Amino acid sequence: MEVESALVDHPAVAEAAVVGRSHELKGTAIVAFVTIKDGHPATKDAGSFGPGLMDDLKEHVVKKIGKIARPDEILFTADLPKTRSGKIMRRLLRDIAEGGLEVVSAVKLGGTLASLAKPCCNCGGRGSHASVDVSG
């Protein structure tokens, strides 16, 4: 079972995307972007996105797959960026996880990523001179 499937198996999770990020010791660290289900109690109180839910999700992955698959970081988001065909834009998520894009309105332990990111410089290294707006 893959990490995304293990996360989505949790009763609080509606959708998840997992990407890798460079890590000094491990080589690659696991970073998960998670969307919480609308009717779940965690959506009523932003504070419940805190360490309790994060630790619960990490332990859920450990139980389903094993310690090797435990995400190093979990970021909660209102929506995942998608293409017109509905596929998750993992390249953008990977850039956010690597730090190549500056996270805008992100509160890791108490909110959502409403606008996921904007380039860290004028062009973000891609020749584009506009902010990336994935909020829909």
Tens of pLDDT, residues 41-55: 654 444 445 568 888
**What does the alpha-carbon distance between residue 5 and residue 50 come to, in Å, rounded to a whole number?**
22
- The fold for domain 3-119 equals GMP Synthetase; Chain A, domain 3 (3.30.300)
Domain boundaries, the chain: 3-119
Tens of pLDDT, residues 76-85: 888 888 889 9
pTM for this entry: 0.69
